[in-house]
Structure 1
Amino acid sequence: MAGEENFKEELRSQDAPRNLNRREAAGYPYSRSLKMLLRRLKVVTTKQDDKFTNLLVAVGEFGTFQRRLVALTFIPSILSAFFMFADHFVFTAQKPYCNTSWILAVGPHLSEAEQLNLTIPRASNGSLLTCLMYLPVPWNLDSIIHFGLNDTDICRNGWIYPDAKKRSLINEFDLVCGMEWKKDTPEIVFMAGLLIGSVVFGLITDKMGRYPAILLSLLGLIIFGFGTAFVNSFHLYLFFRFAVSQSVVGYAISSISLATEWLMDKHRAHAIILGHCFFAVGTVLLTGIAYRLPHWRLLFLVGGVPAFPLISYIWILPESPRWLMMKGKVKEAKQVLCYAASVNKKTIPANLLDELQLPRKKVTKASVLDFCKNRQLCKVTLVMGCVWFTISYTYFALILRMRVLGVSLYFRHAFPGIMEVPALLCCRFLLQQIGRKWSLAVALFQAVIWCLVLLFLPEEEDGLRLRQPRCPAAGLKSVTVLVITLGEVSLAATATVFFLHTAELVPTVLRATGLGLASLASAAGAIFSLTTVRQTLSHLPVFFCCVSAIVGFSLSFLLPETQDQCPSDSLDHSSQMGNEVEDMMTEDASSDDV
């Protein structure tokens, strides 16, 4: 019977071209419903042919094992947001004055206000100057009070901060009076760490495995995140921030790779969306904790303590069976699958495990050069890189725009973080209904709309301050802040959808490397925005945001759809991904049986 069925299938496949030519000659119109049916039949056939999909169904699509795996990503996601945006809260503005404690030798009972009044020169408006002091003189206190001091110089003995309510990096390392430029350095250093970490951890995750890469990144969060609280110099602080940024991007790459290869279609999307929701929760928690803590070192101590329980991941985190199989470790892959089935209280049929054998080549080898050699993969990677660059550039440009408007530091972090959670949950609905490609297009289109609206709003510096009365100006500023926030939320949702799409577009053998290249493009866009937005005219950054958002929206249509498709494992499969569905629709539509 099996031989007869195979013979019939052969005959149908041989007759398909003839039937197709006959229908084309007759001008037979293809209906949309027939194409959708054929697409679904193709999806079912593909899933049946994928041994890993059959095994995951036998293991349990979303049982206790998978739920535990998703829950393990929550705490690291919160900590990643905590350490990623901590720089914004450790540079609390402080007003410095020169340290003039020399006068206490002749007037030990002077109050701080009297000391400053006698030893600090004043500006024309009567305010004390922050970076100048009167030079010491060998007089007694009465002479100084009577005659006053005349000779001024820059601060010689450091600075004091009498009005400071919090201990920040500014008064810790005296980043004042010509050193203000150092306040922008940590952001650039952090983005440079993301840039390098994207490449390093992408290669590590594909070469060593998802499990060791996650452990290495978590170890970095513990050492360099918690250890930042004990640095004794500004340069050491920069080094720790550089190192922790690599851990943040390393965890993002390795955890998304692991979730993509363990979970099936809709559960995979839900897991990545939940992880990004907890990332937004981490931003809100960081804002609340930073508002209450009086010392910047306490911020890193509080944020680093929850990282220590993550050491337990050594014993409870699984490796990806797909990656093990691609590396020729069939025995280890079977052991991991059997363990997952036992946790889910399922039994894997013996014939399914027996089918899990090495491919024709004993071990599937791949390198980063395949992104250039494989034509289809090269095209997809270039498009993904361009879209990631535009998303990141626009997102950080809007953040800088919010900062220029003088919005409260705590508001501009907490409010978008709160709004991101429902936006990401809406993405979950979109992904189920219209797929990855169109969900990405919808999210990017919203970003385009908000950027265009922002382009036509008057500038705060030029328009709002000159208008009377002041109430309409304040109202217009609120509208501008709302539009920027909605743009940030749309771009955050876009990044979440695109992370999922990127992970599904790249084959297993190069999945982490592909995510690393995508993160590299994202970090490059962030660095470009940080270095250029501050140096351009007021209208140009918003105009560039519109252009980049439109470019990203246009390029998103060049990417293939991956919904309801099994993740590709080899380069041979990925090279056909772009035309797979269309070709199969044409072949099946030509069959008499259909």
Structure 2
Amino acid sequence: MLRESSCRVKHRPPHLPKELNKPTARERSDSWSLERLLRRLRAMEANQDDKLARVLRALGEFGAFQRRLVVLILIPNILLAFLTFADFFVFTAQRPYCNTSWILAVGPNLTEAEQMNLTLPRGPDGSFQTCLMYLPVAWDLDSIIRFGLNYTKSCQDGWIYPDTKKRSLINEFDLVCGKEQNSESVQTILTAGLLIGSLLFGLISDKLGRCPTLLVSLLGLMVFGFGTAFVNTFNQYLFFRFGVSQALVGYTISSVSLATEWLLTEHRAHAVILEHCFFSVGVLLLTGLAYSLPHWRLLFLLGGAPAFPLISYIWALPESPRWLLMKGRLEDAKRALCHAADVNKTTLPLSLLDKLQLPRKKKAKASILDFCGNRHLRKVTLVMGCVWFAVGYSYFTVCLKLKDFGMNVHLRYVIPGIVEVPARLCCVFLLEHVGRKWSLLATLFQGSLMCLLALTLPSELKSIMVLVIALGEFSLAASASVFFIYTAELLPTVLRATGLGLVSLAWAAGAVLSLMIINQTPTVLPTLVCCVSAVLALFLCSLLPETEEEPLPDMLEHYPLQTSFFRNMTEKLVTEEAAFKDGTDDVVKNTILNSMTLNLDSDTSLQDGAEDTRDG
């Protein structure tokens, strides 16, 4: 058993939640709508039933421990940005010319310009042709200069790149003249890694824990990210990029799950938003380094090197107490909470720790098959999958549209990096005033509308098109941040990471589809997919419940019981709504408490009866 000396605790009677001790601006409002009353009741019911949330609130909602946790989670996101978008900067456009050094055997003093002039054919415009050369002849230099060469063929001894100032993948592995590869094809490999990593690391995170998965992901970033700088062939490069993409999605899923389960209410949302802001800052740093570095290998060396000190997280990252409780590790969960209290220099009431209990084994068990068998999980997964597909497709579409304007690759990624930081910060305002559901609906609608405009506006309106694309990236970046927060709060702890991985598959599918059809000949298909996915996602998203101030679900049985409770409460509140509108603050609080006291007892007996029925 956990010894009292291992954690500073004190005996004190249970107290009312902080939300009731200190009136908020919402409680002081003169107009009390039924929706707001229900939201307050949900928060109160969370305080009564979610014992772990009460412990987290007692040790300090955002103390030194939570701040340290958020900082540890934020830092690697800069590295994620480096390794996610590096492909776009290592495929610098090249003009390849055949290597004709054979002529140096008869003219060793020839300059490069003279060598090319004698051995390379010219096109109708007078420029040297790429991928073609004159056949070597056994003549002396004077004969070659006098008579010239006439017969051409494809390059035999490799290529040279006289106009290139930087070393890129193209001139490193000679990806020219029938061997062309571009960033879009490599992005397909990267996306394939995301597809596999989403499912694999989601299962690992729910099975082994958040911290082990984070450490494995950081190890993968170190091996595959830093190791990319030492590849010898292009196939090796693809293999390392495939590996790093799995580590990227593994870290994202596990870090969001860990932050969701350690933090409360608005702090949870702020942590995820800051995490995404750091990712956008990483894109800006990557763009600056890619512009200044002369060799593509240096980009991966500098981008992957920070992964080495991040392995020290093995001693710093705390495991999620919610996950520990769901796995039956009650003492480990208490030790983690006591450690957090010591860091925050707070005292945990022993009565709260003693109330932490393990769930029933059969209720805590869950598998990926529950996403098909459980109605609520199936609904959340399908809806969020449609939303994420729409976001993935629209985001890649607007990004690829910037190529049509002939923008420099560095400028194409400076714009999203600058736009996305304020976009994500605006989510704080939206989440606090309209909640998760309407924030996602608003940002997704605006992003899809901008994507549709970008596909339908004439290309001659370049300035308007760039503005539309920037607004689209602004909205879709905000949608991505709200999406992660909303989805993590909808999913139960036992399958939270697996669910995030499954919906991430839809994002990867949207990205792949965008890469496949956006470069085709002019067609209505891109516009049609944009419209259908956006309308479907918006409609389905409207069917989901709001999660603001709701307790985090831990088990699969959470949802039907909670629905039964609030159905009873709603019926009572409908008859008492008029009394709330004219009541003072104290009257409102007392009425809510009285309603809860009368209904919680009856609801508890109903829940016990339901559980006994299921047990039988």
TM-score by length of 2: 0.86
Aligned pairs, number:
549
Structure 1 partner of 2:472? 487
Deviates more, 1:366-375 or 1:347-356: 347-356
- The answer (yes or no) to whether the contact 1:199–1:516 under 8 Å persists in 2 is yes
* In 2: Cα distance, 1:282 partner to 1:142 partner: 57
Q: What is residue 67 of structure 2 aligned with on the other side?
A: 67
Describe how 1:223-238 pairs up with structure 2 within 5 A: 223-238=223-238
Cα distance in 1 for partners of 2:358, 2:407 equals 58
Matched ranges for 1:570-589 at <5 A: 570-575=555-560, 581=566, 584-589=569-574
1:511 maps to 2:491: no
Distance 1:181 1:225, change over 3 A: closer
CA distance in 2, matches of 1:38, 1:110: 85
C-alpha change, 1:57 and 1:193, in structure 2 (3 Å) is same
Deviation at 1:43, TM superposition (A): 2.0
Aligned counterparts of 1:584 and 1:404: Cα–Cα separation in 2 = 56
In the other structure, the counterpart of 2:510 is 525
Could you tell me how far 1:59 is from its partner in structure 2? 1.4
**Do residues 307 (structure 1) and 292 (structure 2) align?**
no
Report deviation, 1:363. 7.3
Partner of 1:117: 117
Of 120-129 and 249-258, deviating more is 120-129
- Name 2:554's counterpart in structure 1: 569
- Rate the CA distance shift 1:237–1:214 in 2: closer, same or farther, 3 A: same
- What are the ranges of 5 or more consecutive residues in structure 2 without an aligned counterpart? 1-30, 577-590, 596-616
The residue aligned with 1:427 is 427
Any idea what SS the aligned residue of 1:153 has? Answer: strand
Mapping for residues 31-50 of structure 1, pairs under 5 Å:
33-50=33-50
- Aligned counterpart, 2:166: 166
Q: Which amino acid aligns with 1:585?
A: T
Displacement of 1:542? 4.0
Instruction: State whether residues 38 and 589 of structure 1, in contact with CA within 8 Å, keep that contact through their aligned partners in structure 2.
Output: no
Paired residue type of 1:125 = D
Pairs within 5 Å for 1:325-344: 325-344=325-344
Aligned to 1:84: 84
- Contact 1:454–1:542 (CA<8 Å) still a contact in 2? no
Aligned partner of 2:405 in structure 1 is: 405
- CA deviations on 1:239-264 (whole Å, 9 max, x unpaired) are 00000000000000000000000000
Partner of 1:144: 144
Q: Deviations over 1:484-531 (max 9, x none)?
A: 121012111101101100100000000000000011111111111111
Cα distance, 1:590 vs. partner? 5.0
Distance in 1 (alpha carbons) for counterparts of 2:572 and 2:83? 52
2:541 corresponds to: 556
Q: Measure the CA separation in 1 of the matches of 2:397 and 2:529.
A: 9
Pairing 1:498–2:483 present: yes
Paired position in structure 1 for 2:373:
373
What's the CA shift for 1:449? 3.1
SS of the aligned residue for 1:85 comes to helix
1:379 Cα deviation after fit: 1.3
> Residues 92 and 447 (structure 1 numbering): CA distance in 2 closer, same or farther, change over 3 Å?
same
Match of 1:15 in 2: none
Question: Quick one: which amino acid aligns to residue 64 of structure 1?
Answer: A
Going from structure 1 to structure 2, the CA distance change for 1:580 and 1:410 (only over 3 Å counts) comes to: farther
Does structure 2 retain, via aligned residues, the 8 Å contact 1:287–1:410? yes
Letter in 1 for 2:134: Y
The superposition leaves residues 531-588 of structure 1 with CA deviations (integer Å, 9 ceiling, x where unpaired) of 1222242554245334433332222212111000111000001355677655532244
User: In structure 2, what is the Cα distance between the partners aligned to 1:125 and 1:98?
Assistant: 19
Q: State the alpha-carbon separation in 2 of the partners of residues 287 and 338 from structure 1.
A: 43
Q: Which residue of 2 aligns with 1:541?
A: 526
2:349 alignment counterpart: 349
Q: Distance in 1 between matches of 2:406 and 2:536?
A: 29
Instruction: Describe how 1:151-190 pairs up with structure 2 within 5 A.
Output: 151-181=151-181, 183-190=183-190
CA shift in 2, pair 1:111/1:567, >3 Å: same
Residue 178 to residue 578, structure 1, CA distance change in 2 (3 Å): farther
Aligned to 1:26: none
Q: For the residues of structure 2 that align with 1:169 and 1:513, how far apart are their CA atoms?
A: 36
Question: How far apart, CA to CA, are the structure 2 residues paired with 1:567 and 1:445?
Answer: 27
Is 1:97 the counterpart of 2:93 in the alignment? no
